[in-house]
Structure 1
Amino acid sequence: MTVRVRLGAGLARLSAAPLKSVQISEGATVGELFARLAQDEPDLAPALRSVLPVVAGEHVTRDRRLEHGQEVALLLPVSGG
């Protein structure tokens, strides 16, 4: 199946493109998507450890199952005050 991945500003600079279409197996989880991204783009791998995945406007965990055609936004956490 295909999912779209939108990389937030901090991650986009580590990748060739800020929006990607990624092929993963049917019923794959967010964690499996991360593993695929790390394999395909090794420069992203270190940042994926702290990334916040968002699906349909909701923060999700790495065990969340994905569906064909979904978009996953990957955001780096922000701190400050």
Structure 2
Amino acid sequence: MTVRVRLGAGLARLSVAPLKSVQLAEGATVRDLFARLAEDEPDLAPALRSVLPVVAGAHVTRDHHLVSGEEVALLLPVSGG
């Protein structure tokens, strides 16, 4: 299956492209997606530990099962005061 990945600004600078299409096995989870991204782009691997995955406007866990055609936005958490 194919999912689209949209990298937030903080992550996009670590990648070759801010929007990617990633091939995964049927039934893959967000955790599987992160493993594939880390394998394909090792510069992203350290940042993926703290990334917030968002699907259809809602935060999802790493155990969320992905569906072909879904778009996953990956955002870095923001702190401040």
Scaled by the length of structure 2, what TM-score is found?
A: 0.99
Is it true that 1:27 corresponds to 2:9 in the alignment? no
Q: Unaligned 5+ residue runs, structure 1?
A: none
CA shift at 1:15, angstroms?
A: 0.2
Paired positions, count:
81
Identity of aligned residues (%): 85
Output one character per residue of 1:12-66: Cα deviation in whole Å (capped at 9) or x when no partner: 0000000000000001000000000000000000000000000000000000000
Backbone CA RMSD of aligned residues: 0.2
| Counterpart position of 1:6 | 6
Is it true that 1:42 corresponds to 2:42 in the alignment? yes
Q: Secondary structure at the match of 1:35?
A: helix
Q: Unaligned 5+ residue runs, structure 2?
A: none
Scaled by the length of structure 1, what TM-score is found?
A: 0.99
Is it true that 1:56 corresponds to 2:56 in the alignment? yes
Q: Which runs of 4+ in 1 moved over 2 A?
A: none
| Counterpart position of 2:15 | 15
